[in-house]
Amino acid sequence: MAFSLYTLGGLVLVVGYLIQQLANYIRVARFKKQHKCEPETQIPQPERIIGYKLYKTQMEASKNKNLLEAGRQRYIDNGNTWSGIMMGRKFINTIDPENVKTILATNFKDFGLGQRQESFGPLLGQGIFTTDGAQWEHSRALVRPNFTKAQVADLDTFESHIQRLISKLPRDGSTVDLQPLFFQLTLDSATEFLFGESVNSLTSQEGSEQEVFGRSFDLAQAQLGKRSRLGKLVHLFRDKEFDQACKTVHQFVDNIILKALERSQPKDAEKSIDGKGEKERYVFLTEMLKSTRDPKQLRDELLNILLAGRDTTASLLSNTFHVLARRPDIWAKLLAEVDQLHGEKPDYETLRNMKYLKYLMNESLRLYPVVPGNARFANKDTVLPRGGGLSRTSPIYISKGQVVAYSTYVMHRRPDIYGPDAAHFRPERWAPEEGLRPGWGYLPFNGGPRICVGQQFALTEASYTTVRLVQEFCGLESRDAREWVEQLSLTMACGNGVKVGLVPREK
């Protein structure tokens, strides 16, 4: 009797499950029909359940610093939009500007960041870079107004950091790796802009509070990439070094915030917190105090922006100088434009009018986009406009929870967008006369509601640094015969650094 009751119970469950599956199948079929969806191309895989082989291939490519080029080959083989299974998860991959525009702008609300909060939360908390929905809107409204032209143009403060950088460059032609110096430069200027006091990593003593902060931030950040690849499994791992680094970073920033809160009483928040009576400098923290005095929120936003702004700008500079050191033709044209300033330091307007420099930045971010790929997770059943069917032009179905990844790196190298010389580094292609209009096919700073807030800041900083270095050194030569290879963390820098020799100008 008991046995048959169990059997009956089991049967009911099984039938219930099947009915649910069927209902789901019908619902999805209707949805697909309604939106005229057709299946996307699937890459050939020995099995599409776990997708272990693809995972292994990717790990291998990553070890060989070849992940981006391996990805590019896959697009050449399978078209602009395709799917693959990796570790039990289906990824839709696309380099179709129409699809990218759909996830980032047209159907923005259908997509979110997935598990970014889980992977990045321990270091970054909840701020503009890690949250979705209403919380993100709140952060964005808090942060956005402070990135206007007036704030990014504080080149005097920036100049002091450049001077420290220049003082560390050899003037006797001996070899120096510029890349680590650029990472120190942007840490110094970002902390100055955000906290009101720079950690001065270019000159700080080993073991000082500032130096330990910088080291801990780098260590913690390096783990973030690894953590996001683990997805939900991240909770299974304990990483003492990571935990300690986060704690060190938090204590350091909390101290700065506490001091700022003490110095600024709500009533005189309009005044500068810098009580030393020196020239008023724009400090991001000071500005944020006008709208919130919550120490945790302040810390989270500051760290979110530090993360988003520091490595990116350093990577742009590194990739650009990697090219400059190998291309005397480009260096000569840049030199000619810089020399029109007759040694004067450029201001914001001057930088904006330096055409060749602008084309150089555009081209650097095209072939070496420092955020080379990204992904969004569907938060409901939805569609992408292209990639389905034999013609690959029909819409495709995206189920709730599905990942859509896009490769800016590969998209920026499409010959059908950039012409037959797409692989060639040629700044002039950005001159208006050439009529290049890539639209959503050019996306170094992302697009749509989550477009980078620091674009002007970054371009100003990178351009200014470039000009000042050219004003100091008239010659640049590569001391490394190897080709560029990727160095992927959260951003994309040079795998072998930027080893160069410099020729100082005669004074």
Q: Does 454 bind ligand HEM (CB under 6 A)?
A: yes
- Closer residue to ligand NAG (CB): 148 or 244: 148
Q: Does 114 bind ligand HEM (CB under 6 A)?
A: no
> Binding pattern to ligand HEM, positions 385-424, x when CB under 6 A?
----------------------------------------
In terms of C-beta distances under 8 Å and separation of at least 24 residues, what long-range contacts does 10-16 make, across chains too? none
Which of 88, 133, 145, 170 touches ligand NAG (CB under 6 A)?
A: 145
Which of 140, 164, 229, 263 touches ligand HEM (CB under 6 A)?
A: 140
Q: Does 430 bind ligand HEM (CB under 6 A)?
A: no
Question: Which 3-state string (H, E, C) describes 151-188?
Answer: HHCCHHHHHHHHHHHHHCCCCCCCCEEHHHHHHHHHHH
Q: Which does 287 bind (CB under 5 to 8 A by kind): ligand HEM, ligand NAG, none?
A: ligand NAG
The CA distance from 392 to 41, in Å, is 8
The CA distance from 446 to 454, in Å, is 11
- Closer residue to ligand NAG (CB): 409 or 430: 430
**DSSP annotation of 343:** T
Yes or no: say if 376 and 327 are a contact pair by the CB < 8 Å rule: no
Smallest distance from ligand NAG to CB 163, Å: 27
Which of 99, 119, 272, 313 touches ligand HEM (CB under 6 A)?
A: 313
The CA distance from 469 to 235, in Å, is 45
> Binding pattern to ligand NAG, positions 436-475, x when CB under 6 A?
x-----x-xx------------------------------
Q: Does 198 bind ligand HEM (CB under 6 A)?
A: no
- Closer residue to ligand HEM (CB): 36 or 149: 149
Smallest distance from ligand NAG to CB 151, Å: 7
**Strands (E) located in 17-150:** 41-42, 81-86, 89-94, 111-112
The CA distance from 460 to 443, in Å, is 18
Q: Which stretch binds ligand NAG (CB under 6 A): 143-151, 220-228, 266-274, 376-384?
A: 143-151
Yes or no: say if 54 and 84 are a contact pair by the CB < 8 Å rule: yes
- Closer residue to ligand HEM (CB): 249 or 307: 307
Which of 25, 291, 399, 424 touches ligand NAG (CB under 6 A)?
A: 291
**Token pair of 320 as six digits:** 């650009």
Which of 111, 129, 430, 464 touches ligand NAG (CB under 6 A)?
A: 430
**Strands (E) located in 63-192:** 81-86, 89-94, 111-112, 176-177
**Strands (E) located in 268-314:** none
Q: Does 142 bind ligand HEM (CB under 6 A)?
A: no
**DSSP annotation of 88:** T
Q: How far from each other are the two terminal CA atoms of the chain, in whole angstroms?
A: 102
**Token pair of 134 as six digits:** 């209403």
Q: Return the SS3 of 206.
A: coil
Which of 211, 218, 239, 287 touches ligand NAG (CB under 6 A)?
A: 287
Residues that bind ligand HEM (CB under 6 A): 128-129, 140, 305, 308-309, 312-313, 316, 370-371, 374, 444-446, 450, 452-454, 457-458
